[in-house]
Amino acid sequence: MAGETVVTIVGNLTADPELRTTRNGGTVANFSIAATPRVFDKQSNQWIDGDALFLRCSAWRDLATHCAQSLSKGMRVIAQGRLQQRSYQAQDGSNRTVIELQVDEIGPSLKYATAQVQKMQSGGYQGGNANGGGYQQPQQAQQQSQAPADDPWSAPAEPEF
């Protein structure tokens, strides 16, 4: 990723990810993340919200499907990816430029919630079933698969002392 602008953003999803298929058969999930900085005002002894940043995001292929199955509106997420600038011509004929985050990694924030992770058959991992903090149950039933005994994701880790 030499020469690309890689950023990490923490914020809340403004809507459920929108999953669609391109003309070439690729899968993409589009969504926006709202990040609002907060500062503590010592004079008023209160937290004050700053101006919100709304960042349009897209995830491709398996990641797109995993986002649509695991993420929902209001969920606090941590996303990392590459900023990309795209220009297009609007319906009124004006030229427009937008900056979007091409998501490489995304997951729920565990600061105010918990999550369960399920290994996918294809070798990836799927987040899901987060509770609290505005999270909702996944809409699709998750399949339970029999994992090999040496699979570190098949059972909770024992604490080491």
Say what percent of the chain tops pLDDT 70.
74
Burial status of residue 159 (CB atoms within 10 A of its CB: 0-12, 13-18, 19 or more): exposed
Whether the CA torsion 68, 144, 132, 79 is positive or negative: it is negative
Highest mean predicted confidence (pLDDT) among 11-20, 119-128, 148-157: 11-20
Mean pLDDT of 112-138: 59
Query: Does 145 score more than 50 pLDDT?
Result: no
Q: Report the C-alpha gap between 57 and 37 in whole angstroms.
A: 19
Given the structure tokens 């509106």, which residue do they identify? Answer: 73
Q: What is the pLDDT of residue 112?
A: 86
Q: What is the pLDDT of residue 155?
A: 42
Query: Does 157 score more than 80 pLDDT?
Result: no
First-residue to last-residue Cα distance in the chain:
39
Q: Report the C-alpha gap between 83 and 160 in whole angstroms.
A: 40
Q: Report the C-alpha gap between 142 and 126 in whole angstroms.
A: 10
Query: Does 136 score more than 70 pLDDT?
Result: no
The tens digit of pLDDT for each residue in 42-52 reads 999 999 999 99
Q: Report the C-alpha gap between 130 and 7 in whole angstroms.
A: 24
Q: What is the pLDDT of residue 1?
A: 55
CB-CB contact of 57 with 103 (8 Å): yes
**Alpha-helical regions (H) of 9-161:** 61-70
**101: which 2 tokens?**
């985050």
Query: Does 131 score more than 50 pLDDT?
Result: no
Output helix, strand, coil percentages for the chain, rounded to the nearest 5. 5, 50, 45
Q: What is the pLDDT of residue 143?
A: 42
Query: Does 79 score more than 80 pLDDT?
Result: yes
Residue type (1 letter), 87:
S
Is the pTM above the cut of 0.75? Answer: no
**159: which 2 tokens?**
């604490």
Query: Does 142 score more than 60 pLDDT?
Result: no
Give residue 89's pLDDT band: very low, low, confident or very high (50, 70, 90).
very high
